[in-house]
Structure 1
Amino acid sequence: MTLGSQIAWDDTILPFQLDNSDIRGRLLRLDGALDAILSQHNYPPAIEALVAEAAMLTAMIGQTIKQSWKLSLQIRGDGPARLIATDYYAPKVAGEPAEIRAYASFDEERLDPTGPSFPQIGKGMFAILIQQNEGKQPYKGITPIAGNSLSDCAQAYFAQSEQLPTRFHLTFGKSVWAGGQEGWRAGGVMLQHMPKASPHVTGEGGSGEGGLLAPADLLTEDDSENWSRANILLDSVEELELVGPSVQPTELLVRLFHEEAPRVYDPQPLSFGCPCSEERVRESLSIYSDRDIGHMTNDEGRVTADCQFCGAHYDLDPGTVGKDAKGADGDSA
């Protein structure tokens, strides 16, 4: 295994299709992008796991949106893990990397830092938002928290909102390279039955948790056999095969699905990215009056803002922000 081949597939999404099964999918490898997301914060292990899983789901789902669009994933609950928020920014130009960012908000006093992650979300909602253009209302789809993982929630979302049988198989963790360098690695596969083969579901309720629709509710008998076979094959994958880097994604697809006639498309590179800036902070404060800005001013006579995603800190003169701003002073850090 050479360093060059490792770099070639790290932080990429490889779209594919199984021609003999009428199934499409994506194979994801995350390395530096996930490491950059998690290194911005000192999260306890339970929160790290939720952020990692949410980032993977966002990357795999986001790969289908159009250039310059934005896809956001939000998980809100009444447990100690209150919020997981992620954003996927599609590239503005074909061939450029897509960008992804993520962060979490949690109640440290109630959190079991090393306990199971998913139960600490509690009851709540799983939402996907797609922003097409600035100024337009985003598309929003919401389903309840269900199952035993964020992947289960995503599968339930696609069954309810899109009526598409969907399966995620994800793994992630820290690896140590020769020399002691430690970093996050993640890998996963998303399967989705092609929409033209999925019947429209009528009536109320499904066979899933709380009456939610499940993949079996969306498939004809023939399609169900293909779907079951592909899922059985996916269940045979090993964690080390998913995260790599010794097994290339194209090789893995052949290992798993060679009888299903896999066809691959152009891979999409990924990187960590955050579009926050002083200009955006000033724009967000432009709706406030001098009185409002006065309430935001700290004891040192400054208005400050911190980006939850990347940790950037902005330090501004209150006289230069808000409706009645006198002009930017250029102070930021």
Structure 2
Amino acid sequence: MSIGSQIAWDDTILPFQLDRSDIRGRVARLDGALDTILGQHDYPPVIEALVAEAALLTALIGQTIDLRWKLSLQIRGDGPARLIATDYFGPSAAGEPARLRAYASFDAQRLDEKADPFSQVGKGFFAILIDQGEGTVPYQGITPLNAEAGSLAACAETYFAQSEQLPTRFSLSFGKSILPGQAEGWRAGGVMLQHMPKASPLLEQKEGEPQLLAAADLLEGDDEENWVRANTLLDTVEDLELIGPTVQPTELLLRLFHEESPRVYDPQPAQFGCTCSEARVRNSLSIYSAKDIEKMTTPEGRVTADCQFCGAHYSLDPKTVGFEAESVPSDGE
């Protein structure tokens, strides 16, 4: 495989469909984008792994929806890893890249850096939020975290079965690697399979505690047989095939699913992108009175704010913020 081919598939999401099985999917590769996301912070390795997995899931899920603006993924738990938050911003025009960002909030004192990353999340919930922009009603879907799932990917599968009644499967791989002549960097890759939406079979209501659904609860007959076959084929994928760069996504699909008649669509490029700005900070402070702003002012006489996603630092004159601002900001501020 040439270097040119490798670069062409770095930071891309390739949609595909398995015509024989009535299954759609995505192959994602995150390289420079993930390296930039994690490079904004000095996370412990166990938190880096959770953020990498969540970012890869977000790239795969975000590209399945015809977004005008943003899809967000949030994992909140009562463990040391309190919050993993990601955003996928759909491209504003054809041919432009989607933008990804992510961050984590964690309790360093409670964190067990030798433990499995997922075990550090604890009990909580997995949520997907979709904001289509001005004039639309945001959507939010939430399912409990499955403590026995073992990964964020498995929790995402439960989410789609429970909230959307869509059988869904993820196979992911991520980690640091060194390519010849290059510095160490993050590479990640994954495949998402999702059964095409249909009217779900009636589900029997059982007595006792409500149970989380799985893909097997939603399919029957030929659909179930096709789903099992596609998943069995995906089980043969190797980590190096997922993350590349030696195997192109198109080659991977042919290797895994050549008997399922795979059909690919235009790939979607992705990159790191943050929407924070001084104007947004000022807008968020516009609801506060002068007395409130005074309480936020530092001993140095500034109102400060930091972006959790990209680490940008904003320092503002307190007289220029809030709905009782005395003056407008100078050009040099």
Shift of 1:113: 2.0
Distance 1:78 1:46, change over 3 A: same
1:95 partner SS? coil
Partner of 1:320: 320
Amino acid at match of 1:201: L
2:300 partner SS? coil
Take 1:172 and 1:314, find their aligned partners in 2: how far apart are those partners? 33
Shift of 1:65: 2.6
Is the contact made by 2:30 and 2:188 (CA closer than 8 Å) also made in structure 1? yes
1:142 partner SS? strand
Amino acid at match of 1:4: G
Is the contact made by 1:205 and 1:213 (CA closer than 8 Å) also made in structure 2? no
Alignment RMSD: 1.5
2:250 partner SS? helix
Shift of 1:258: 0.3
Take 1:289 and 1:86, find their aligned partners in 2: how far apart are those partners? 31
Is the contact made by 2:203 and 2:217 (CA closer than 8 Å) also made in structure 1? no
Q: Deviations over 1:1-50 (max 9, x none)?
A: 32211110010000000011111100001100000000000100110010
Partner of 1:148: 150
Shift of 1:136: 4.2
Q: Deviations over 1:161-219 (max 9, x none)?
A: 110100000000111122351100001000011112x524334369xx96111111100
TM-score normalised over the length of structure 2: 0.96
Take 1:205 and 1:105, find their aligned partners in 2: how far apart are those partners? 38
2:234 partner SS? helix
**Aligned partner (choices 181, 184, 192) of residue 183 of structure 2:** 181
Shift of 1:275: 0.8
Where in structure 2 are the equivalents of 1:218-257 lying within 5 Å?
A: 218-257=218-257
Distance 1:67 1:149, change over 3 A: closer
Amino acid at match of 1:267: P
Is the contact made by 2:177 and 2:185 (CA closer than 8 Å) also made in structure 1? yes
Partner of 1:45: 45
Partner of 2:65: 65
Shift of 1:67: 4.4
2:100 partner SS? strand
Take 2:183 and 2:123, find their aligned partners in 1: how far apart are those partners? 38
Amino acid at match of 1:294: E
1:168 partner SS? strand
Partner of 2:161: 159
Where in structure 2 are the equivalents of 1:184-199 lying within 5 Å?
A: 184-196=186-198, 199=200
Is the contact made by 1:76 and 1:125 (CA closer than 8 Å) also made in structure 2? yes
Take 2:206 and 2:12, find their aligned partners in 1: how far apart are those partners? 37
Is the contact made by 1:28 and 1:188 (CA closer than 8 Å) also made in structure 2? yes
**Aligned partner (choices 143, 168, 171) of residue 170 of structure 2:** 168
Take 1:330 and 1:203, find their aligned partners in 2: how far apart are those partners? 65
1:301 partner SS? coil
Amino acid at match of 1:224: E
Is the contact made by 1:316 and 1:331 (CA closer than 8 Å) also made in structure 2? no
1:211 partner SS? coil
Aligned residues: 329
Take 1:149 and 1:331, find their aligned partners in 2: how far apart are those partners? 48
Is the contact made by 2:201 and 2:219 (CA closer than 8 Å) also made in structure 1? no
Take 2:67 and 2:162, find their aligned partners in 1: how far apart are those partners? 26
Partner of 1:286: 286
Distance 1:180 1:91, change over 3 A: closer
Distance 1:81 1:245, change over 3 A: same
Amino acid at match of 2:133: N
% of aligned pairs identical?
Answer: 71
Could you list the structure 1 runs, at least 4 aligned residues long, displaced by more than 4 angstroms after superposition: none
TM-score normalised over the length of structure 1: 0.96
Q: Deviations over 1:103-131 (max 9, x none)?
A: 00000000012321101110000000000
Take 1:16 and 1:256, find their aligned partners in 2: how far apart are those partners? 13
Amino acid at match of 2:24: R
Partner of 1:273: 273
